[in-house]
Amino acid sequence: MMEQPVDRHIFVIFGATGNLSFLKLLPALYRLLAHEKQQDRCHVLGVGTKELSDKDFRERAREALKNAGISSKDMNEWCDTCLHYHSLGKSSDDYSGLAERIRSLEKEYDIPGNRVFYMALPPAIFPKAITGIGESGLSTSDGWVRIVIEKPFGSDLNSAKELNHLLHQYFDESQVYRIDHYLGKETVQNLLIFRFANTIFESLWNRDRIDNIQITVAESIGIGERARYYDKAGALRDIVQNHLTQLLTLVAMEVPAVFTADDIRDEKVKVLRSIPLIRPETVVFGQYEKGTIGGKKVKGYREETGVADDSSTETYVAMKVEIDNWRWQGIPFYIRTGKRLNRRVTQIVVTFRHEPVCIFRPYSSCQITSNRLVITLQPDEGFHLYFDVKRPGEPLWLKTESLHFHYKDAFGPLPEAYQTLILDILQGDQTLFVRADEVETSWRLFNPLLGQDFPAHSYAAGTMGPEEAEKLLIKDGKKWENP
Ligand code: BG6
């Protein structure tokens, strides 16, 4: 997996006692290092406001790793020797104390100043932490220093610009890793390989051959314990501005000159810049009501703990996006996401144009369907290419069949997105991270939709969203390709 051993470094997790740290970061970090037997090259410093000793933090980390299915003597040893904890104090502003601790760990473990600062924090605290790191001189050292920012990066165009401005006071863009965990998914990365290593599809990938493209990020889960965040964010900020937009740019981008971080990101930004303002009449918001999913009754959004009885936050968004460039002009991209839909699936459906004339029209039993390429990014990762065949016998009858490829059959289980992304951070590869201009261009697109009084149409949990979303496509003479 790693071509070279990672540099000895200190991995500082801000928000170390939170869910992200215990559920994702520590297990991913351990798996990655253990796989290459490089555990001792990484010392983790958990940072938080809670008063914990190293021993307490190690115990909690051990539990978390066990819950993630990791249990070995090596894991215990890693926890005991390579995990440390530092409390920032109640007011969480003791950054000079933190700087001292980091320097003393570097000295003790012979770490040459290589540092990762991982912001696993609520977004409101990012500015304070970034300023604290910068002002205490931690952003410069004899080694490399990288900062990782979780999404959401800002809550609109202005706040994203301000956050970029603050980061750039202390860090060069080459040190900043804005995470969108979708980019760490193998199947999402494979979109580029699929397109640019297989000429058969690339030659069809344009307005002459494609009728429309649909991208769906459907979830069956609700908002769980996240009302405080979600009720302010809504689906537009939570999924559309980041995960869905990333998928859209990867599907629509031009061929980069070479497969490098900046060449790829340049092409993605060009797609975003070719999207005209999204018209409100092509956007549908929805909010789930109570319903049944997988035989289980679930609450409506407004009945979730922490959500106001009259909340108008959208838990569903569908919209039509147009791309005004030579490749895509006139071809609609329909994107949608929602919580409490009837299943969890992330899927891209490319529907090819119909044949110009149906030569089988004398046979009433011959209904031709458009060829479709369905790329499933999760949970059953793979491709399905649908085409018509003749059913044996008489009368002449067509049937839609498909060619399949399933990742799990070819490769077994796929690595966790965080494992891939953390490895890239340690190796200094920014290809799968969002650049400053990319995040701002994407906010620019959606900014006019924020703060608009869109009605959130209700939909029953366990369905595929509100009726209005169906009508959005019917207006264009199309329909959603439901998984
Ligand atoms: C997160 C969102 O970024 O992605 C969540 O904040 C969402 O609301 C999650 O549930 C979906 O991720 P995945 O990997 O399960 O598709």
Q: How far is the CA of 432 from the centre of ligand 1 (A)?
A: 17
Q: How far is the CA of 205 from the centre of ligand 1 (A)?
A: 28
109, 129, 150 — which closes off a domain? Answer: 150
Expressed as residue numbers, the domain containing 124 is 9-150
Contact 351, 476 (CB under 8 A): no
Q: Which of 228, 238, 242 to mutate to test the pocket of ligand 1 (most atoms within 8 A of CB)?
A: 238
Crossing angle of helices 54-67 and 73-82, in 10° steps, is 150
What b/e sequence results for 84-111 when a residue is b if at least 16 CB atoms lie within 10 Å of its CB, and e otherwise? bbbbbeeebebbeebbebbbebbeeeeb
232 and 143, same structural domain? no
64 and 199, same structural domain? no
150, 171, 203 — which closes off a domain? Answer: 150
> In this structure, what CATH number is given to the domain that contains residue 210?
3.30.360.10
130 and 213, same structural domain? no
Q: Which residue has the tokens 């290809």?
A: 431
Hey, whose CA ends up nearest to atom 9 of ligand 1?
239
- Long-range CB contacts for residues 29-32, cutoff 8 Å, separation at least 24: 29/422, 30/65, 30/70, 30/75, 30/78, 31/70, 31/416, 31/419, 32/1, 32/419, 32/422, 32/423
Q: How far is the CA of 374 from the centre of ligand 1 (A)?
A: 21
Q: Ligand 1, closest atom to CA 185?
A: 14
Q: Which residues contact 471 (CB under 8 A, 6 or more apart)?
A: none
Dig out the tokens for 367 from the structure.
């209904």
Record the pTM. 0.93
- Return the SS3 of 309: coil
Q: Ligand 1, closest atom to CA 378?
A: 16
Q: Which residues contact 292 (CB under 8 A, 6 or more apart)?
A: 298, 461, 462
Hey, whose CA ends up nearest to atom 4 of ligand 1?
239
| Phi/psi at 100 (5° precision) | -60, -45
Q: Is residue 483 part of a domain?
A: no
Q: Which of 216, 243, 316 to mutate to test the pocket of ligand 1 (most atoms within 8 A of CB)?
A: 243
> In this structure, what CATH number is given to the domain that contains residue 96?
3.40.50.720
What's the structural domain count of the chain? 2
Q: How far is the CA of 347 from the centre of ligand 1 (A)?
A: 14
Q: Report pLDDT for 442.
A: 96
**Amino acid type, 359:** I
Q: Is residue 423 part of a domain?
A: no
Any idea of the CA torsion for 79, 81, 83, 84, to the nearest 10 degrees?
Answer: 140
Q: Ligand 1, closest atom to CA 180?
A: 3
Q: Ligand 1, closest atom to CA 182?
A: 14
118 and 265, same structural domain? no
Q: Is residue 178 part of a domain?
A: no
CA–CA separation, 382 and 410 (whole Å):
10
- Classify residue 362 by its DSSP letter: T
Q: How far is the CA of 148 from the centre of ligand 1 (A)?
A: 18
Q: Report pLDDT for 135.
A: 95
122 and 204, same structural domain? no
190 and 146, same structural domain? no
Hey, whose CA ends up nearest to atom 2 of ligand 1?
238
453 and 321, same structural domain? yes
Q: Ligand 1, closest atom to CA 223?
A: 8
Q: Is residue 258 part of a domain?
A: yes
Contact 461, 340 (CB under 8 A): yes
358 and 261, same structural domain? yes
Q: Which of 9, 43, 84, 243 is catalytic?
A: 243
Q: How far is the CA of 306 from the centre of ligand 1 (A)?
A: 19
pLDDT tens, per residue, the chain with 483 residues: 666 788 999 999 999 999 999 999 999 999 998 877 787 899 999 999 999 999 999 999 999 999 999 988 888 999 999 999 999 976 767 899 999 999 999 999 999 999 999 999 988 899 999 999 999 999 999 999 999 999 989 999 999 999 999 999 999 999 999 999 999 998 999 999 999 999 898 889 999 999 999 999 999 999 998 999 999 999 999 999 999 999 999 999 999 999 999 999 999 999 999 999 899 999 999 999 999 999 999 999 999 999 999 999 999 999 999 999 999 999 999 999 999 999 999 999 999 998 888 887 777 666 778 999 999 999 989 999 999 998 898 788 888 999 999 999 999 988 889 999 999 999 999 999 999 999 999 999 999 999 778 899 999 999 999 999 999 999 999 999 987
188 and 127, same structural domain? no
Q: Report pLDDT for 40.
A: 83
What would the DSSP string read from start to end of 38-94? -GGGEEEEEEESS---HHHHHHHHHHHHHHTT---HHHHHHHHHHEEEEE-TTTT--
Q: Is residue 218 part of a domain?
A: yes
396 and 464, same structural domain? yes
**What residue ranges line ligand 1, CB within 6 angstroms?**
151, 219, 238
Q: Is residue 213 part of a domain?
A: yes
Contact 346, 417 (CB under 8 A): no
Contact 324, 276 (CB under 8 A): yes
128 and 208, same structural domain? no
Dig out the tokens for 308 from the structure.
């106001």
129, 150, 171 — which closes off a domain? Answer: 150
Query: What strand order describes the sheet that includes 115-119?
Result: 83-87, 42-48, 9-14, 115-119, 145-149, 176-178
Q: Is residue 425 part of a domain?
A: no
Q: Is residue 187 part of a domain?
A: yes
Q: Is 35 a catalytic residue?
A: no
CA–CA separation, 418 and 153 (whole Å):
17
Contact 454, 283 (CB under 8 A): yes
Give the residue from 15, 25, 24 showing the smallest Cα distance to 128: 15
88 and 190, same structural domain? no
Dig out the tokens for 477 from the structure.
């003479």
